[in-house]
Structure 1
Amino acid sequence: MRDFSIGPAQIVALFMTCIFYGILLVTTGHCLNILLLKKTRNTLGHRIALAATLCMLAIASNDVALGLVHVLDAFAYYTGPGGAEAVLGHVSSWINVVKLGNYMLQTTIGDFLLVYRCYVIHNRRRAVIALPIVLWLMFVVTYSLAIYVTANRHAFGSISSGQTPFLTAAIVATLVQNIVTTGMIVYRLWSHERRNGDILAECSARHRITRLIGIIIESAAFYTIFTLLTLVTFLTNNNADYAVSDCVVQIIGVSFNLIIIRGHGTLSAGWEEYEQTQISSRRTDHIGMTDMRPALSESGHPRKVSEIPGWPEPSISSKVDVHVVE
């Protein structure tokens, strides 16, 4: 069996990155359609989601372009000793350093948005996100140190040989953070569904919350699997790490977009029903079960929350906040 050297690994990485970049372009276009053309209020949630979508696309585009430049430099333009391996194996080259920066920026944005979503879902309780914030900061610090060491190494060889402690800690931190934060979000939605089961059945929104939980779990699993593969290939010093880690930069954006797209399709028709699950127990006791009846029109169809006297105006920012992700 032929050795999977750094040259073929970089070509495979560019090929796989282009595939996921194409998916990212399509999903980004759909997200912009939702966030811009179908937007009804200029809210903070919309602005955060829009800025995150555009930033992730810009970072992913930069990463693909750098991968192409690196391969062209190695196989087409370089004519010195060592061939393509000499170019691709230069750990501290500016392209490798910037690509590490792209990975860090993309992951930092994605993890922060995941923590923010958890913060909103848990009624903006700061204590709930204490552990996710610590893990997020741990990733930022350790990966920043890894970039600094890489930029000043001036050596030839595998990128994992000198930065192992920092990169390992960073990848483990983001992996644990995603699992913990996603679990907290899912638990919160599940507990609302169990506690308000009768109300949700009355307004036919129960299946929407169940589907939302499935969407969040699937998107988190998509990112988690590739992050775990990155960790395994990195620790085993396998050059497949180049391909997998480059794909993660695209996958973070794709996962973020898919939650907005699928969540919008699931909840847009009956978001008002889901808003009812966000009321506190005090509000529920005050309104009473009999007050839920005005939510139905004479034809038997659910009325909008804004049409119910005394009901708080639904917030579109909450809708987007739920979908803000890694």
Structure 2
Amino acid sequence: MGIPLDKAALVGLFLQTLFYGVFLTLYWLTLFVLLKKTGIQRQLLIPVGTLLLFIATAHLILEFVRALEAFVFQVNTLGADAYYSNLASPLALASLALYITQTILADGVVVWRCYMIHNRRLLVAILGCIVLLIYGTSGYYVVWSFSRTHPLGNTYISITIFYTLTMLISVSCTTLIAWRIYRTHRFIPKGLATFLPVFIVVVESGALYATSVLALLVATLTGSNAQYIMLTVIPPIVGITFCLIVLQVHFHVGGSPSEHSAKPRGILLRERGVRDTDFSNQPITVHITEETEIVQSDMMRGKNSQLDSEGVFQV
């Protein structure tokens, strides 16, 4: 038996409050970290994180007001189940619009990260912007359709398109970022120490968000009222994902930034018949092979795009 609509609303509000508390705590930690940074980290990431917090706060306030309306003020006249079934109410439309805005903003940051890490390739930016435009249009179309007296028949098709493209853009951008990190560090033996933490951050952050959207999509397709739980939970999860990426990359997921930046490291090039090279004062003959050229080429591209363990979110 499925969960009743009124109980789903209460469970969603409880979980949203819980996750919002986590998001708020992580936001202040992230703000403390970013205030020590310079350049793009302060100019872009602080406003984006603050806007995500404002939207999540507004969404939580709306859900509290809706709960008061359903269970206190209109409990004897309309009933909680009938109240939440009315998707055309102004508060319900505002809540849905905030959710869509939060999702578009977060996915826009993901596309921007992917674009910067891939050396500002226009193809990545164009494809990402096209997908954002399509699912953003479908999302706001759903809000407009629900505002009508009789929602249009293709409204639920637009909802499915919105959820599917949201998950698609998260998974595809995360995969592209992870692949770029792998290609940059695969020929650097000592780079493994910084490659694994950053790779884990990228994969875990994308998996957290994509799993939430997948649960929402499955609940919608099966007609379960659990979709209303996920609709209220995802806005703070978006902010949590954003903050975790910044914090985990800053602290190197168990490593200290100062440990990596305090002392220079040599790059070991192990080849057949070639001695290991490091920063010694003795003259050493190094035979250049095709693999060495690939290493140097990837290093130069990584340097130009500032792709290191700290710069994965700094981009």
SS where residue 186 of structure 2 aligns? helix
- Distance in 2 between the 1:318 and 1:75 partners? 52
- Distance in 2 between the 1:175 and 1:324 partners? 23
- Pairing partner for 2:226 from 237, 240, 247: 240
TM-score, normalization by structure 1 = 0.78
2:156 is aligned to: 164
Are the aligned partners of 1:49 and 1:320 in contact in 2 as well (CA < 8 Å)? no
Give the CA deviation at 1:315: 10
- Pairing partner for 1:120 from 116, 122, 129: 116
- Distance in 2 between the 1:94 and 1:255 partners? 29
Work out whether 1:255 is the aligned partner of 2:245.
no
- Distance in 2 between the 1:21 and 1:177 partners? 24
> Which structure has greater helix proportion?
1
- Which consecutive unaligned segments of at least 5 residues does structure 1 have? 277-288, 295-312
- Distance in 2 between the 1:9 and 1:108 partners? 25
Letter in 1 for 2:32: N
Letter in 1 for 2:34: L
Letter in 1 for 2:81: E
Give the CA deviation at 1:206: 2.8
2:133 is aligned to: 137
Deviation by residue 1:24-64 (Cα, 9 ceiling, x = unmatched): 0111011011011x23x2x1332110011100111111111
- Distance in 1 between the 2:51 and 2:175 partners? 26
Letter in 1 for 2:123: A
Relative to 1, partners in 2 of residues 1:260 and 1:318: Cα closer, same or farther, differing over 3 Å? Answer: same
Letter in 1 for 2:83: V
2:86 is aligned to: 90
Give the CA deviation at 1:237: 1.2
Give the CA deviation at 1:161: 8.1
- Pairing partner for 1:50 from 30, 33, 46: 46
Relative to 1, partners in 2 of residues 1:29 and 1:145: Cα closer, same or farther, differing over 3 Å? Answer: same
Relative to 1, partners in 2 of residues 1:315 and 1:293: Cα closer, same or farther, differing over 3 Å? Answer: farther
Relative to 1, partners in 2 of residues 1:32 and 1:314: Cα closer, same or farther, differing over 3 Å? Answer: farther
Give the CA deviation at 1:128: 2.8
Are the aligned partners of 1:175 and 1:224 in contact in 2 as well (CA < 8 Å)? yes
- Distance in 2 between the 1:26 and 1:128 partners? 33
Work out whether 1:221 is the aligned partner of 2:210.
no
Letter in 2 for 1:9: A
SS where residue 153 of structure 1 aligns? coil
SS where residue 251 of structure 2 aligns? helix
1:18-29 aligned within 5 A: 18-29=17-28
How many residues are matched? 279
- Distance in 2 between the 1:147 and 1:27 partners? 31
TM-score, normalization by structure 2 = 0.80
Taking only aligned residues, the RMSD between alpha carbons, in angstroms, comes to 2.9
Letter in 2 for 1:213: F
